[in-house]
């Protein structure tokens, strides 16, 4: 639902007090986070990308290590993608890392190595959408651009008792209270408010600097806003992987295609089981389709349960060897492959699930 005239008037009436109270609260209660120190546009950008769909506490250490390895746009642009993915390993949503790397190269080639101080130009860079562009613009450059993430959506929906806020209306609402002289601090404060006090469940309304303006609190139903979005059932898949060992002790690993999910990461090859297919049969079929090899499937080594955003998997890894007379591996449905030592596998970027399979090498 769009904003009505009454709501617009409400925002206008309270904008000065809302700005003052939020900024005062943030000055006292802002968390000490590594990306809030030695701030540069590059550091802001990396932090905002890492924080997409990822909790602050998980990002802290990743951010510190990433910035130590890639302290500048130049360092990031010149690094091999595999190095970037290795630093990202375990953080998830690896398309962010690939886009960050591509964007750094665009910035070097087209923007003289400087992050552009323009919302529209920022949006044209790989991996930067409307929210991230608004956050970078306001925090790094002092541009009064609204940045609406899930936390901000929840806060504003409650303040306005807005059951089903739309993107355009939310931007209008945030812009109405966004101070021209402190947009960066306001943007961070609003996100901080949603992350720490105005939480999805059990919001701490008595500590909120906006409690006197909150319509949802006034009606005694803060958790009723916004109306929860319906979630589809999360599907589950059985997946198989081949831990194929050669006579010299090296293990067969393959690199996923760049455009695939987890693109650029190395894995123990395999794939999804089809209906009615046994796990060994699925593995033999997948190895034939992916690497044009025939494998003898041995014992099951490890079972890994893992959840992604839209589905869950049970990953079954089996000890394998190339069957007698099998042709040598080749990439039919992968980007690259190699026979790797345990030390080489430890240095390759892998998903969390495949890294657990790799732990078998240490036992």
Same domain, 246 and 156: no
- The predicted structure's pLDDT at residue 298: 97
248 is a domain residue? yes
Residue 216's nearest CA partner among 266, 267, 162 is 162
Examine the domain organization and report whether 142 and 82 are in the same domain.
Answer: yes
Residue 49 included in any domain: yes
Report the run of H or E that residue 310 belongs to, with start and end: none
Is 231 a member of any domain? no
Give the tens place of pLDDT for each residue, 109-163.
999 999 999 999 999 999 999 999 999 999 999 999 999 999 999 999 999 999 9
| Whole-angstrom distance, CA of residue 265 vs CA of residue 351 | 7
Residue 93: which CATH number?
1.10.340.30
**Residue 158 domain-assigned?**
yes
* Pair (243, 135) in one structural domain: no
Give Cα separations from 172 to 162, 285, 320 (angstroms): 13, 54, 58
Q: For residue 318, give the 3-state DSSP assignment.
A: strand
User: Both 219 and 134 in a single domain?
Assistant: yes
pLDDT of residue 230 exceeding 90, the answer is no
Reported in sequence order, the residue ranges of 264-322 that DSSP labels E, i.e. its strands, are 266-267, 270-272, 295-307, 312-322
How many CB atoms within 10 Å of residue 214?
Answer: 20
3-state secondary structure of 272: strand
Q: Comparing C-alpha atoms, which of 316, 318, 327, 335 is closest to residue 251?
A: 318
**Residue 230 C-alpha from the chain's centroid:** 22
Same domain? For 303 and 217 the reply is no
Say how far residue 353 (Cα) sits from the centre of its chain. 17
**86 and 206 both lie in a single domain:** yes
Q: Taking residues 267-275, report their average pLDDT.
A: 97
Q: Residue 217: which domain range?
A: 5-224
Q: Report, as an integer, the average pLDDT of 342-353.
A: 97
What is the predicted pLDDT for the residue at 301?
97
User: Residue 362's pLDDT band (boundaries 50, 70, 90)?
Assistant: confident
CA distance 356 to 338: 19
Q: Please check whether residues 249 and 195 belong to one and the same domain.
A: no
Last residue of a domain, one of 168, 189, 224: 224
Question: How many domains, in total, are found in the chain?
Answer: 2
Answer with the one of 224, 254, 279 that is the final residue of a domain.
224
**Each residue's pLDDT tens digit, 26-62:** 999 999 999 999 999 999 999 999 999 999 999 999 9
Same domain, residue pair 45 and 172: yes
Q: Is the pTM of this model over 0.85?
A: yes
Task: Identify the pLDDT of residue 65.
Answer: 98
Query: What's 339's domain CATH number?
Result: 3.90.79.10
**363: pLDDT strictly greater than 80:** no
- In this structure, is residue 26 part of a structural domain? yes
Span 327-354, average pLDDT: 96
Query: Does the residue 230 lie in any domain?
Result: no
DSSP 172-211: HHHHHH--TT-HHHHHHHHHHHHHHTS-SSS--GGG-TTG
Using one digit for the tens of pLDDT, what is the confidence trace for 59-112? Answer: 999 999 999 999 999 999 999 999 999 999 999 999 999 999 999 999 999 999
pLDDT band at 361 (very low <50, low <70, confident <90, very high): confident
| pLDDT score of 206 | 97
- Residue 219: pLDDT over 90: yes
Strand partners for 271: 240
Q: Are residues 109 and 220 in the same domain?
A: yes
Average pLDDT over residues 182-205: 97
Average pLDDT, the chain: 96
Residues 38 and 79 in one domain: yes
Within this chain, do residues 146 and 246 fall inside the same structural domain, yes or no? no
Give me Rg for the CA atoms of the chain.
24
Residue at a domain's end among 224, 254, 270: 224
Kindly state whether residue 229 falls inside one of the protein's structural domains.
no
Q: What is the C-alpha separation between 151 and 195, in angstroms, rounded?
A: 6
For residue 68, the model assigns a pLDDT of 98
Task: Please check whether residues 184 and 49 belong to one and the same domain.
Answer: yes
Q: What is the pLDDT of residue 231?
A: 84
- Could you give phi then psi for residue 319, rounded to 5 degrees? -70, 130
Q: Is residue 59 part of a domain?
A: yes
Query: Which active-site residues does the annotation give?
Result: 48
């Amino acid at each position: 639902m769009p904003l009505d005239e009454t709501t617009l008037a409400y925002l206008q009436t309270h904008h000065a007090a809302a700005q003052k109270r939020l900024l005062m609260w943030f000055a006292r209660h802002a968390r000490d986070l590594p990306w809030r120190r030695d701030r540069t546009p590059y550091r802001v950008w990396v932090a905002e990308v890492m924080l997409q769909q990822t909790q602050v506490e998980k990002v802290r250490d990743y951010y510190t290590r990433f910035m130590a390895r890639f302290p500048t746009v130049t360092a990031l642009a010149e690094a091999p993608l595999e190095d970037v993915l290795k630093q990202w390993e375990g953080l998830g949503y690896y398309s962010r890392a690939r886009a960050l790397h591509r964007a750094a190269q665009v910035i070097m080639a087209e923007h003289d190595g400087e992050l552009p101080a323009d919302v529209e130009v920022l949006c044209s860079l790989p991996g930067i959408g409307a929210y991230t562009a608004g956050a970078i613009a306001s925090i790094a450059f002092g541009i009064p651009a609204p940045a609406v993430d899930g936390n901000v959506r929840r806060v504003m929906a409650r303040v306005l008792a807005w059951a089903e806020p739309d993107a355009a209306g939310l931007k209008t609402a945030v812009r109405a209270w966004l101070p021209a002289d402190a947009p960066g601090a306001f943007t961070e404060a609003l996100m901080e408010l949603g992350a720490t006090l105005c939480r999805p469940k059990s919001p701490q309304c008595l500590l909120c600097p906006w409690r006197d303006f909150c319509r949802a609190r006034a009606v005694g139903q803060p958790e009723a806003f916004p109306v929860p979005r319906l979630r589809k059932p999360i599907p589950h898949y059985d997946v198989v992987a081949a831990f194929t060992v050669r006579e010299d002790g090296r293990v067969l690993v393959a690199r996923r295609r760049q455009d695939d999910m987890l693109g650029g990461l190395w894995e123990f090859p395999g794939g999804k089981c089809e209906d009615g297919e046994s796990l060994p049969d699925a593995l033999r079929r997948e190895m034939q389709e992916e690497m044009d090899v025939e494998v003898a499937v041995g014992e099951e080594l490890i079972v890994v349960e893992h959840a992604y955003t839209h589905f869950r998997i049970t990953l079954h890894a089996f000890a394998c060897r190339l069957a007698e007379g099998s042709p040598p591996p080749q990439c039919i449905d992968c980007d690259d492959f190699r026979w790797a030592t345990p030390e080489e596998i430890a240095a390759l970027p892998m998903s969390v699930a495949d890294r657990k399979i790799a732990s078998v090498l240490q036992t």
